[in-house]
A = this chain, B = another copy of it.
Amino acid sequence: MPLMDLRPLLQNNGSKIVLYVWDGLGDIPSGPKMQTPLQAARKPNVDKLAAEGVTGRLEPVSPGVTPGSGPGHLGLFGYDPVEYPIGRGALEAVGVGFDFRHGDVAARLNFCTLDAGGKISDRRAGRIPSDESKLVVKKIAEAVKEVDGVEVLWAPVKEHRALMVLRGKGLGEAVEDTDPQKEGVPPLAAKAKDKGKDNVRTAQIAQKALELAMAAIKDEKKANGILARGFAKRPHWPTFEERFGLRAAVVAGTPMYRGVAKLVGMEAQEATNEIEKDVASLAAAWDKYDFFFLHYKFTDKAGEDGDFDAKVHYIEQADSAIPALLKLKPDVLIVTADHSTPTAMKGHSFHPVPTVLWSPTACRDAVDRFDEIACIQGWIGLRPSTHLLPLALGHAGRLAKFGA
């Protein structure tokens, strides 16, 4: 459901909003005590926010639907992820800080290992370390700079991952993945998804570029092949500032999350994934922005690993950063998640995420602790995650009265 256009109501009162995302935080009760990690953790600071503020649950995409990291964050930023679909290549390009321009077509690459017959024997090239991967990308970048008048750019990402960007006029993004998603077969050819001239030409250029690149690394032991996925252009979206009147900063140590924030126009600050340092980076930018998106990664990783105790530990670590945030005197401080990653499921899930919104204008509810079950009773209720940003603006006094 599209929400009301808030632009006519925006007013700048100098207030500040902090959105502190604990990635993959949501969980389901499990283990002998049938608790969630949030229920098991000692997290006095976020519990205090819950006691003083309001709580509730946000549904990231649509009932029953499990979000990827991009859609999960877009919802929290007030962008309906169904209305604002985003290609993997675009997300990656912006995420690594690549100068990704309108008109460019990006694809996410995985290095793979090809056997003597050209068939994929390892889809992730033994997960080669980033240092090694960087050298492989360098080799390619020196060998392949242009194809048929189109500039071809290459960038390392992390471990076996890299990025290819085509830059030129009249490129299309409707190009199929070359990753067959299995081993024992050769990589697929890059093919256009339709007969559109731009797409057909782009597929041909991409295919030629990938062939030349693979020729350049054919003597590598592990990373001697390339699989391309998620061909995409940079989307033309209205920015966060245009839609919500907020100059926004992102502090996120992981490229993916920084990327999605930059796609809506947030400005990236230094970030390390060490929470104390990241809060200090946020504090250093305090005067320059109205809105701060701070990302905490490790809760998700623990969920993916199915490690209950680790998730409890990382929740406690994330919690410890809250006093330093409160010291900045935000008008609204939100703790929530982009999606649930239940340890019992070892992956993202569709479960709504627990949410606390602390603000002097909050209608303090009866909930005095922060967990999935307690939040059911909270003031915020159960809502699509796109409701969060308008609520934050309201609490921050940034929306003028509607109508006389």
With A and B bound together, what is the CA distance between A362 and B350 in angstroms?
Answer: 11
- A143 part of interface (Cβ distance < 8 Å): no
- A323 part of interface (Cβ distance < 8 Å): no
Cβ < 8 Å to B, chain A residues 350-370:
350-351, 361-366
Please state if A377 and B378 are interface contacts (CB–CB under 8 Å).
no
With A and B bound together, what is the CA distance between A29 and B401 in angstroms?
Answer: 21
Please state if A402 and B63 are interface contacts (CB–CB under 8 Å).
no
Interface-side segment among A40-48, A68-76, A205-213: A68-76
- A324 part of interface (Cβ distance < 8 Å): no
| Known contacts A68-B401, A362-B28, A403-B71; is-contact A62 B377 (Cβ 8 Å) | no
Question: How many Å from the CB of A30 to the closest CB on chain B?
Answer: 9
- A246 part of interface (Cβ distance < 8 Å): no
Please state if B345 and A361 are interface contacts (CB–CB under 8 Å).
yes
Task: Give the number of chain A interface residues (Cβ < 8 Å).
Answer: 65
- A61 part of interface (Cβ distance < 8 Å): yes
Please state if B28 and A65 are interface contacts (CB–CB under 8 Å).
no
Please state if A401 and B3 are interface contacts (CB–CB under 8 Å).
no
CB neighbours of A82 from chain B (8 A): 4
Question: How many Å from the CB of A9 to the closest CB on chain B?
Answer: 7
Please state if A67 and B401 are interface contacts (CB–CB under 8 Å).
yes
With A and B bound together, what is the CA distance between A95 and B210 in angstroms?
Answer: 59
With A and B bound together, what is the CA distance between A163 and B350 in angstroms?
Answer: 45
Q: How many copies of this chain? A: 2
Cβ < 8 Å to B, chain A residues 368-400:
372-373, 376-379, 381-383, 387, 390-395, 399-400
CB nearest neighbor in B for A92: B404
CB neighbours of A366 from chain B (8 A): 373, 376
Question: How many Å from the CB of A163 to the closest CB on chain B?
Answer: 13
Please state if B377 and A66 are interface contacts (CB–CB under 8 Å).
no
| Known contacts A373-B366, A383-B63; is-contact A348 B401 (Cβ 8 Å) | yes
CB neighbours of A63 from chain B (8 A): 3, 383, 387, 390-391, 394
- A91 part of interface (Cβ distance < 8 Å): yes
With A and B bound together, what is the CA distance between A351 and B9 in angstroms?
Answer: 16
Please state if B65 and A394 are interface contacts (CB–CB under 8 Å).
yes
Interface string of A323-362 (1 = CB under 8 A from B): 0000000000000000000101100111100000000011
Please state if A363 and B29 are interface contacts (CB–CB under 8 Å).
yes
- A135 part of interface (Cβ distance < 8 Å): no
Q: Select which of B1, B28, B364, B402 is within 8 A of A34 by beta carbon.
A: B364
With A and B bound together, what is the CA distance between A207 and B377 in angstroms?
Answer: 56
Interface centre among A29, A34, A363, A390 (most CB of B within 10 A): A363
Q: Select which of B29, B62, B403 is within 8 A of A68 by beta carbon.
A: B403
Please state if A402 and B64 are interface contacts (CB–CB under 8 Å).
no
Nearest first, the 5 A-B pairs at minimum CB distance are A64-B394, A64-B390, A68-B403, A4-B62, A350-B394
17 contacts between A and B (CB under 8 A): A29-B364, A34-B364, A57-B381, A61-B402, A64-B391, A64-B393, A64-B394, A64-B395, A67-B403, A68-B403, A69-B404, A87-B404, A91-B404, A344-B361, A376-B379, A381-B381, A382-B383
